[in-house]
């Protein structure tokens, strides 16, 4: 693990929260795995693999000669931005990792199990070459996104008739129960009016997952506007790097604070934080943007019973933000949108 990268990421993401506990932020760059050039993890008996903080699920179907990688996570160092066919499942469109040679390519569905209860702070993401080329150009199974000519695909779905999109959903779990919030990230989005606003992700971008709270696993689910016969036509692959977790000894979800809500949500100029406390309690209120940068912090001497805290947000730019309420040993994160 590159300690310089780990410390730098901790500062950038704003993950070293000022709780009176011992926090450990780990940004997994996957550089400890040894690979030949332009190769990838392959195990024909479907063995999952691990880092110090997480287990990455992997599945192989069939035998060595006739089997195939069916879903899950595979670490890789493939550099290929040219081959946009199924023979290049592992390469990504950036031609390498975010902070080194290695990265992880994920095939939907996929699960990452966290070894200790942690907050998954986030990860960097980009499209695979296979998915990017298919979205941009189409093939015999998938349509070209945004194509208004009705050509370029072997599917029966009219092209250019519907707004196109390629969406990743990240769901957090704790003891088998899904978190209230789901993190969404568009790997391609042709929905906004005007072709100038259409995009397919071609660089590394950070996905903030703090809204999921403290989890013991996360799952990934892809969906697309291009479907037929109940199946997604867009290749169900993406790549990640610098998978970052924030493990805090003794950190748990707030137990004495209930009914936390933010309103109005979305908000324009003022946001209200509402909650009920079982007893008087000093709390820290921390606001971060989608990159993890802290934009606001305040202290609150909460009363027993209902509490209401108004926050002035006029100065904030439009976008998604996260409110973290914490005491000495516990925290809860909730998302809101600034219009």
> Which residues of the chain does CATH 2.60.120.1350 include?
3-248
Return residue ranges of the chain for CATH 2.60.40.2550: 254-338
Encoding tokens for residue 2? 């590159």
**Could you tell me how many residues make up the chain?**
339
User: What local confidence, expressed as pLDDT, does residue 20 receive?
Assistant: 36
Paired strand residues for 72 = 58, 107
Contact 181, 211 (CB under 8 A): yes
Q: What is the pLDDT of residue 283?
A: 87
Mean pLDDT for the stretch of residues 317-331? 80
**CATH architecture of the domain with range 254-338:** Sandwich (2.60)
pTM check: above 0.85 = no
Query: Residues 90-128: pLDDT tens digits?
Result: 999 999 999 899 999 999 999 999 988 888 989 999 999
From the number of C-beta atoms within 10 Å of its C-beta (0-12, 13-18, 19+), residue 64 rates as exposed
The CATH number of 3-248 is 2.60.120.1350
What is the model's pLDDT at position 36? 97
Question: 165's torsion region: left (phi>0), alpha (psi -120 to 50) or beta?
Answer: beta
Run of H or E including 55: strand 54-56
Determine the pLDDT at residue 260.
83
Predicted confidence (pLDDT) per residue in 231-255, tens digit: 999 999 999 999 998 875 444 556 6
| SS percent in the chain: helix, strand, coil, step 5 | 10, 50, 45
> Which stretch, 223-237, 304-318, 319-333, has highest mean pLDDT?
223-237
| pLDDT beyond 80 at 43 | yes
Listed residue (183, 190, 185, 119) closest to 159, CA to CA? 190
For residue 148, what pLDDT is reported?
58
> How high is the pLDDT of residue 321?
86
Task: Evaluate if residue 157 carries a pLDDT over 60.
Answer: no
Instruction: Give how far the C-alpha of residue 85 lies from the chain's centroid of Cα atoms, to the nearest Å.
Output: 25
Give the torsion sign (CA, 289, 290, 292, 293): negative
CA torsion angle for 60, 61, 67, 71 (degrees, to 10)? -50
Widest CA span in the chain: 66
Predicted local confidence at residue 179, as pLDDT: 82
């Amino acid at each position: 693990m590159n300690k310089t990268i780990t410390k730098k990421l901790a500062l950038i993401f704003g993950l070293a929260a000022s709780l009176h506990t011992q926090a450990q932020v780990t940004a997994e760059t996957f550089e400890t795995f040894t690979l030949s050039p332009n190769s990838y993890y392959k195990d024909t008996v479907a063995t999952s693999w691990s880092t110090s903080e997480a287990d990455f699920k992997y599945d192989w179907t069939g035998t060595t000669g006739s089997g195939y990688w069916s879903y899950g996570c595979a670490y890789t160092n493939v550099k290929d931005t040219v081959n946009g066919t199924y023979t290049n499942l592992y390469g990504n469109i950036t031609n390498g990792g975010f902070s080194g040679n290695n990265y992880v390519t994920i095939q939907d569905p996929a699960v990452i199990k966290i070894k200790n209860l942690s907050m998954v702070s986030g990860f960097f993401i980009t499209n695979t070459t296979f998915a990017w080329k298919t979205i941009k150009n189409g093939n015999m199974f998938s349509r070209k996104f945004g194509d208004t000519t009705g050509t370029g695909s072997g599917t029966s779905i009219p092209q250019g008739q519907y707004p196109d999109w390629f969406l990743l959903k990240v769901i957090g779990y704790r003891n088998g129960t899904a978190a209230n919030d789901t993190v969404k990230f568009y790997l391609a989005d042709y929905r906004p009016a005007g072709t100038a606003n259409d995009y397919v992700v071609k660089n590394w971008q950070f996905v903030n997952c703090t809204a999921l709270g403290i989890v013991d696993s996360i799952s990934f689910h892809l969906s697309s506007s291009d479907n037929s016969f109940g199946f997604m036509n867009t290749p169900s692959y993406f790549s990640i790097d610098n998978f970052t977790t924030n493990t805090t000894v003794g950190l748990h979800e707030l137990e004495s604070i209930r009914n936390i809500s933010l309103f109005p949500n979305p908000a324009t100029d003022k946001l209200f934080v509402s909650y009920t406390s079982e007893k008087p309690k000093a709390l820290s209120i921390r606001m971060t943007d989608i990159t993890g940068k802290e934009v606001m912090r305040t202290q609150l001497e909460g009363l027993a019973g209902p509490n209401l805290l108004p926050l002035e947000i006029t100065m904030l730019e439009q976008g998604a933000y996260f409110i973290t309420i914490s005491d000495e040993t516990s925290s809860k994160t909730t998302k809101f949108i600034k219009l």
